[in-house]
Amino acid sequence: MRIFLLASFLFSGISAFAQLGGSSTYQYLNFPVASRIAGLGGTNLSTPSDDISFAYYNPALLNASMDKDLSLSHALMAGNINHGYIAYGDYLDSLNITIHTGLLYRSYGSMQMYDVNGIQNGTFSANEFALVGGMSYQSDKLSYGANLKFIWSQLESYSSVAAAFDLGMAYNDTAHLFSAGVVLKNIGTQFKPYVAGNREELPFEIQLGISQRLRYLPLRISITAHNLEQGDIRYDDPNVSTNQTFITDTTSSDEKKYIADQIFSHIIFAGEFYFGNNFSVQIGYDYMGRKELSLATKKGLTGFSIGMGLQVKKYAFYYSYDIYSVAGGSHMLTIGTNLNYFNKK
C-alpha cells in the first residue's frame, strides 16, 4: 500500500513538469533496450526477474540474482537505424546492494546532405549514446534504486551533452505473487545544448506498474501506466472527428468514452507465459501506439508486440517484434548469460 501512496504523492507534486513528444529531446532513451521488454509492450517496471535489462526501466528491480549477469541486445529498425544496449550486474554482498552498468547506443547511419537550394553536398552521420549506472538496496518486500545516465548526442555538426537520473521503488510480495513499481525517469539537464543558448528539456516521465503471477496458470499479467505527470497525452488531430476507445471508435459526444480514452492512452497491457523453466512467450498491447500509428482504413496489429525467450544451457536468447504500423516494425535480439555459470566446476 505504501508504494501506491507514494505514487499518488508524486503524481500530485510533479504534474507541473509535464511534457510529452515534441517538447523534449533524447527520445531514444525511451526506446526498448532488450527483446523481452519490447515483447512486453516496450516498458515494464514491476516484474521481478534475474534479467539485468529490467534495471534500465526500474533500478529498484536490481537484486542479488543479477550478480554477474551479462546482456547484449540489438535492434534492426527501419531506415538502417541500429539500436542496442549492453548491460552487466554485480551484487555487493558486504553492502547488501546490487549495482549495474550499461551502454545504450543508436546509430542513424550515413545520410545525404543538401544545401538550401536542394543540391547534394556530401553526407553526414548521426549517433547517440548513454552510459548508465545504477544501484539498488532491498529491505524485506521493498527495494529502492537509482540510475544515473550520461548522455551524448551527435547529429551532423550539432552535438549535445546531458545527464539524468531515475529514481525507483519496487514492492514484491512472493506469498501472493504480486509485485509493483514506481519510477521517476530522466530527471536532469543539458550541459551542452545542440545550439548555444537553447537548452531543451529531457523526457521526464512518471510511471507506475503492477504485475500478478497467476497461481494455477503459467502466466504473469502486467499493467504499466506511463506519462502520469500529464493528464491528456493524446494527439489532437483537427482532421479527425472521432475518438478511439478501448473497444471501438465512437464520436466524442459520449463523455464516458472520452474519459476512458484518456485513461487507456496511459496504459500498456502485457502478459508473459512460462512453459517450463526454459521457454517463455511475451505479448504486449500499447493502446496509444495503436491509436496514433494505425491507419483508419487498416489497423492490422499496430500497437501489439510479441516475443519469445529460450534458455539453452548457459545462454538465454530472446527475440521480439514490435509492430509500429501495417508497414512493419522493429526486430530485436537479446543474448544473455551469467558469468557465474562459468565459475562452477
Q: Cα separation of 218 and 182, whole Å?
A: 25
Q: Tell me how far apart the alpha carbons of residues 184 and 295 are, in angstroms, rounded to a whole number.
A: 33
Q: Could you tell me the maximum CA-CA distance found in the chain, to the nearest angstrom?
A: 69
Sign of the torsion formed by the C-alpha atoms of 219, 69, 29 and 46: positive
- Low-confidence stretches of the chain (pLDDT beneath 70): 1-22, 232-256, 293-297, 344-345
How many other C-beta atoms can be found within 10 angstroms of the C-beta atom of residue 104?
22
Q: What value does the mean pLDDT of the chain take?
A: 86
Are 115 and 36 in contact by the 8 Å Cβ rule? The answer is no
Kindly state the cell numbers that stand for 190: 543539458
Q: What is the pLDDT of residue 249?
A: 52
- Please give the Cα distance from 330 to 297 (Å, whole number): 22
The predicted pLDDT at position 182 comes to 98
Q: What domains does the chain contain, in order, with CATH numbers?
A: 2-231+266-343 (2.40.160.40)
Dihedrals phi, psi of 254, to nearest 5 degrees: -85, 105
pTM: 0.85
**Per-residue pLDDT, 6:** 34
Q: Which three cell numbers stand for residue 341?
A: 555459470
First-last CA distance in the chain: 44
How far, in whole angstroms, is CA 35 from its chain's centroid? 11
* CA dist list (Å): 180 to 52, 107, 304: 17, 34, 23
Q: Decide if 192 contacts 198 (C-beta within 8 A).
A: no
What is the pLDDT, as a whole number, of residue 256?
Answer: 66
Model pLDDT for residues 222-275, shown as the tens digit of each residue: 999 999 988 766 655 555 554 544 455 545 456 667 777 788 888 999 999 999
Residues ≥6 apart with Cβ < 8 Å to 148: 132, 133, 134, 163, 164, 165
Residues near 5 by Cβ (< 8 Å), separated by ≥ 6?
none
What CA–CA distance (Å, rounded) separates 200 from 29? 15
